Amino acid sequence: MASLSASLSLHPLIPTQLIPDHQRNSCAKWRSVSFQRLEFQSSLQGSFRQVRIAGSSHQKAQALVDSRTQALDVPILTCSEAIERLRKNRENHKGKQQFLAMYSSVFGGITTDTAAMVIPMDDHMVHRGHGVFDTAAIMDGHIYELDQHLDRIIRSASMSKINLPFDRETIRRILIQTVCVSKCQKGGLRYWLSVGPGDFQLSPSGCHQSALYAIVIQDQSPFDSKGIKVVTSSVPIKPPQFATVKSVNYLPNVLSKMEAEEKGAFAAIWLDDEGYVAEGPNMNVAFVTKQKDLLMPRFDKILSGCTAKRVLTLAEGLVREGKLNGIRVDNVTVEEGKNADEMMLIGSGILVRPVVQWDEQVIGDGTAGPIAEALLNLITEDMKSGPSTVRIPIP
């Protein structure tokens, strides 16, 4: 370290502040002994500086000096410069989705400036995954199933030992106001409850206040009803204690989705520890059996989907019309699933999506089935004109 400190202190491009105090003292002594063996060359190459040190015994020191000098090229920004760069970055990387408004309890308000839509680095949700989230669709000036999703996030927060930053009614009011400010007509609301910012420890004991964040995302794309292919996931399913919580720990879900995409499929289906059909990475699964029953896996080891539960209620209309014989929530074997007349994925992001192939097995006659189509129509209609229990008007 002495040789490095000396070389750094002698070099005109390296401020002595970079050298820790305890090493600065040893520099002078080292300089008199070893300086003859070093020859400094400073050159500007492209945008970074290089220091060359003659003498083979100093290759290690050279690498360190190089990395120190290169680090000097990183700009040091004021707050407004950083924000300006965040804004430019957003403008340069516009995706399909537009972020219209964000609420943060950390700054205690709503912003429509995308550059300010950030959360603190020391929030334990960022570096420990200690946070939960939920969603709700926005359609025609209404928020769909907000209360059902709110119940679920509060349950998830309790299972994750996250205290609510506000009571339920206040959280609900903040979410509705954020959507109102966004002026979004069609899209989605996503919100997070985090144990909060504080430090970089594992325990949240240093987090002074739990946090609420929410964002409104505009999405005009229509819901797709084309039949899709699924595969069985080789990524292990989360154990029930974690699968039933909608936490931000979605790495297994992400890897499972990526595995599906690599195999040319839309999603990968998880089986539970007993080999029964479980769920997809961000959707539930349902089948229409040969006996014309709507069959859905039990919810005790998977996420209790708000859309799936609504579909179970809406499907009662199809039973009354004689299109379905009955509705069952039960264990589903892979054999039963693969031999079903219809298979579908259900979730707030896709609503109801028919599956026409699972691994090598063609489902039914290989085309999108009539029950999946009827359920998609029913839920779309419910979003547009359902009862007040599922549609919250945006003021």
- Site residues (CB under 6 A) for ligand PLP? 253, 279, 282-284, 303, 305-308, 347-348
* Distance of closest approach, residue 135 Cβ to ligand PLP, in angstroms: 6
Residue closer to ligand PLP by CB (options 210, 348) is 348
Q: Which two tokens stand for residue 247?
A: 């936490």
Give the Cα separation of 379 and 387 in Å (integer). Answer: 12
Residue 9: in which H helix or E strand, if any?
A: helix 2-10
Helix, strand, coil share of the chain (percent; to 5)? 40, 25, 40
Cβ atoms 290, 339 nearer than 8 A: yes
Burial class (CB in 10 A: 0-12, 13-18, 19+), 111: middle
Selection from 340, 249, 244 nearest residue 291 by Cα: 340
Residue closer to ligand PLP by CB (options 6, 237) is 237
Q: Which of 246, 301, 309, 338 is catalytic?
A: 246
What angle, rounded to 10 degrees, do the helices at 146-159 and 168-182 form? 130
Give the Cα separation of 280 and 290 in Å (integer). Answer: 22
Residue closer to ligand PLP by CB (options 7, 348) is 348
* Distance of closest approach, residue 335 Cβ to ligand PLP, in angstroms: 23
**Active site (annotated) includes residue 246:** yes
Cβ atoms 355, 226 nearer than 8 A: no
Backbone angles phi, psi at 374, to 5 degrees: -65, -40
DSSP β-ladder status, 342-347 and 326-329: unpaired
Residue located via tokens 């700009």? 75
β-pair partners for 231:
268
In a 3-state reduction of DSSP, which class is residue 331? Answer: coil
* Distance of closest approach, residue 144 Cβ to ligand PLP, in angstroms: 11
* Distance of closest approach, residue 150 Cβ to ligand PLP, in angstroms: 12
Backbone angles phi, psi at 337, to 5 degrees: -65, -45
Residue closer to ligand PLP by CB (options 110, 350) is 350
Helix locations, 75-145, DSSP H: 79-92, 124-127
Residue closer to ligand PLP by CB (options 110, 277) is 277
Cβ atoms 144, 138 nearer than 8 A: yes
* Distance of closest approach, residue 280 Cβ to ligand PLP, in angstroms: 7
* Distance of closest approach, residue 225 Cβ to ligand PLP, in angstroms: 17
Q: Which two tokens stand for residue 330?
A: 């039960």
The identity of residue 40, as a single letter, is F
Residue closer to ligand PLP by CB (options 129, 198) is 129
Residue 67: in which H helix or E strand, if any?
A: helix 59-71
* Distance of closest approach, residue 246 Cβ to ligand PLP, in angstroms: 6
The identity of residue 394, as a single letter, is I
* Distance of closest approach, residue 341 Cβ to ligand PLP, in angstroms: 23
Residue closer to ligand PLP by CB (options 279, 382) is 279
Residue closer to ligand PLP by CB (options 14, 372) is 372
Catalytic residues: 246
